[in-house]
Amino acid sequence: MRHRIAVASAAALVSLVGTTGVAAAQPSSLYAPSALVLTVAQGDDAATSTVLRASTLSCAPTALGTHPDPQAACAALNSTGGALDRLLASPNPDRACPMHYAPVTVTADGVWKGSRVAWKHTFSNSCTMSATLNGNAVFSF
């Protein structure tokens, strides 16, 4: 008798094992993530420089963040395909900058359209930075 009860109980448990719920798969976003932390720092080494300004920028699905003009910054990044080196232009020859060395380092860390980004560029001074970026919105904060 005990054997029959044990077999019946085991059969009931085995039949219930397959009925446990499976977590429903969450749909993935239509947009790959694009979120960056942008900094402007005094110094020539991003690791030891003094951060003067920092801003966050998220471009997908909409432009947001602490950046003062996220739409323009995201548009500038989209126009370069996320290649931050393409933001750098030849300095305007009509703009004269002092020839003193007071390095300024700009960085962008985060994710752009699903790919990890860790970018930095050092300018000889803030005037050279402004002239080379030619008023580009990405680092205008």
Residue 46 lies inside a defined structural domain of this protein: yes
Report the 10 Å Cβ neighbour count for 99.
9
Share of the chain above pLDDT 90, in %: 59
Of 134, 137, 114, nearest to 67 by C-alpha is 137
Residue 141 lies inside a defined structural domain of this protein: no
Residue 118 lies inside a defined structural domain of this protein: yes
Supply the range of the domain harboring residue 80.
Answer: 31-133
What is the structure's pLDDT at 39? 97
Decide: residue 74, CB within 10 A, 0-12 exposed, 13-18 middle, 19+ buried. Answer: buried
Decide: residue 16, CB within 10 A, 0-12 exposed, 13-18 middle, 19+ buried. Answer: exposed
Answer for the pair 73, 137: CB distance below 8 angstroms, yes or no: yes
Rounded distance between C-alpha atoms, residue 23 and residue 31, angstroms = 23
Residue 4 lies inside a defined structural domain of this protein: no
Residue 13 pLDDT > 50: no
What is the structure's pLDDT at 23? 54
Statement: the pTM of the whole predicted model exceeds 0.85: no
Counted domains in the chain: 1
Residue 78 lies inside a defined structural domain of this protein: yes
Residue 37 lies inside a defined structural domain of this protein: yes
Edge-to-edge strand order for the sheet containing 50-58? 50-58, 35-42, 104-112, 115-123
Residue 6 lies inside a defined structural domain of this protein: no
Answer for the pair 40, 104: CB distance below 8 angstroms, yes or no: yes
Q: Which residue has the tokens 């930075």?
A: 129
Of 99, 140, 141, nearest to 123 by C-alpha is 99
Residue 112 lies inside a defined structural domain of this protein: yes
What is the structure's pLDDT at 15? 55
**What is the CATH classification number for the domain harbouring 114?**
3.30.350.10
pLDDT tens digits for 36-71?
999 999 999 878 999 999 999 999 889 999 999 999
pLDDT tens digits for 67-102?
999 999 999 999 998 899 999 988 777 888 999 999
